[in-house]
């Protein structure tokens, strides 16, 4: 009999991939959950302990992919803790945290490093981990930058910026380790944690071994997209993008939502520029050993992602010219 696995935040990027992987497995059936019951989704309020408790009553495990505001992140973790505590028998639970819990740390970082989130998001992720601390049934995953498989953040947005000539070789501003991890590897870790509940009670970094520097990633991706010659983005231009253009685009995005305006170019916020210069290198050897992970080759993944974007555009009657492929 297959295990029933509740997936909260199932409409999100990682949640969708988790649901698909469970459905394709020979040992599990996903129970996809979202705030509203539609398209096969179970209605679960992930910020309510009572709602989560009811949802956990007839499943054999849970993967918590809930995202949102910092307040929502913390409320969700506290509700999950209460719901897991209320069960008479433990079930394996996977909770998604983030490398943001390490704050501004640099150098080689393993799971023993101090948690010191510096952004509201990072601080919330630390508080969420603290809310679940001490539960041996909970496996905490701390992904780096999740790319591939249609990732809106580290594939889609990067492709759009590269094709628009707003991103490229950043010089010294892009020489930090990327800590990229393919979504397929993230999914494998989550499913591995469900199948090995004895590995619970610990946190696991997720980032490929020998991750490329950001510049290497940007240049290889631009070449795969045909966005050549790869533009050199100097410090002055990067400051204009992050200090002047990004706030204006953010305001336009907020106003655009009110009138239904779509298709605005993505902002390049200062937080991204800081990340590209923060030379933190996640050690994910614990996850690789525990869950038997073999990291997806990033150059192959970049080519596949560029092809995915090209195929999507070529199928559209309003496909833009080739210089914009990969969006």
Per-residue tokens: 143: 């992904």
Q: 289-304 as b/e, with b when 16 or more CB fall inside 10 Å?
A: ebbebebbebeebbbe
Contact 213, 281 (CB under 8 A): no
Helical residues (DSSP H) of the chain, grouped into ranges? 13-24, 49-56, 70-86, 120-132, 157-163, 183-195, 214-225, 235-239, 246-259, 270-277, 285-291, 298-314
Q: Give, in words, the CATH class of 3-148+179-208+280-296.
A: alpha beta
Residue 1 exposed, middle or buried by CB count within 10 Å (0-12, 13-18, 19+): exposed
* Tokens matching residue 40: 């096969």
Residue ranges per domain, the chain?
3-148+179-208+280-296
Paired strand residues for 93: 62, 138
Q: What is the mean pLDDT of residues 130-140?
A: 97
What pTM did the predictor assign?
A: 0.91
Cβ proximity of 298 and 185 under 8 Å: no
Given a cut of 50, whether residue 258 has pLDDT beyond it is yes
User: Is residue 269 within 8 Å of 111, Cβ to Cβ?
Assistant: no
Q: How far is CA 47 from the centre of its chain?
A: 20
State the residue for tokens 């295990």: 3
pLDDT (0 to 100) of residue 316 = 42
Cβ distance 99 to 207 under 8 Å? Answer: yes
- Tokens 């996809």 map to which residue? 32
Could you read off the pLDDT of 93-111 as tens digits, one per residue?
A: 999 999 999 999 999 999 9
pLDDT in tens, 45-76: 999 999 999 999 999 999 999 999 999 999 99
pLDDT digits (tens, 9 = 90+) for 269-317: 999 999 999 999 999 999 999 999 999 999 999 999 999 875 544 444 4
């Amino acid at each position: 009999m297959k295990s029933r696995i509740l997936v909260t935040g199932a409409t999100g990027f990682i949640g969708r991939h988790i649901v698909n992987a469970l459905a394709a497995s020979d040992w599990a059936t996903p129970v996809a959950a979202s705030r509203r019951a539609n398209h096969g989704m179970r209605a679960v309020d992930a910020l309510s302990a009572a709602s989560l408790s009811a949802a956990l009553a007839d499943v054999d495990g849970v993967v918590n992919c809930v995202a949102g505001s910092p307040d929502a992140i913390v409320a969700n973790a506290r509700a999950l803790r209460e719901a897991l505590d209320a069960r008479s028998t433990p079930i394996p639970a996977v909770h998604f945290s983030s490398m943001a819990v390490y704050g501004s740390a640099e150098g080689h970082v393993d799971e023993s490093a101090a948690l010191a989130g510096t952004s509201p998001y990072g601080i919330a992720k630390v508080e969420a981990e603290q809310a679940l601390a001490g539960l041996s049934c909970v496996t905490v995953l701390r992904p780096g930058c999740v790319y591939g498989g249609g990732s809106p953040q580290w594939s889609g947005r990067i492709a759009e910026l590269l094709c628009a000539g707003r991103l490229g070789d950043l010089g010294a501003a892009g020489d930090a380790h990327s800590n990229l991890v393919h979504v397929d590897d993230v999914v494998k870790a989550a499913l591995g944690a469900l199948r090995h509940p004895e590995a619970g009670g610990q946190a696991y970094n997720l980032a490929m071994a020998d991750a490329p520097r950001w510049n290497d990633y940007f240049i290889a991706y631009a070449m795969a997209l045909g966005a050549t010659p790869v533009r050199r983005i100097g410090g002055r231009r990067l400051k204009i993008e992050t200090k002047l253009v990004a706030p204006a685009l953010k305001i336009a995005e907020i106003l655009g939502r009110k009138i239904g305006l779509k298709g605005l170019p993505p902002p390049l916020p200062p937080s991204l520029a800081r990340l590209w210069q923060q030379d933190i290198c996640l050690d994910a050897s614990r996850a690789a050993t525990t869950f038997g992970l073999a990291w997806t080759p990033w150059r192959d993944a970049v080519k596949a992602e560029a092809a995915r974007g090209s195929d999507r555009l070529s199928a559209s009657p309003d496909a833009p010219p080739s210089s914009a492929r990969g969006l």
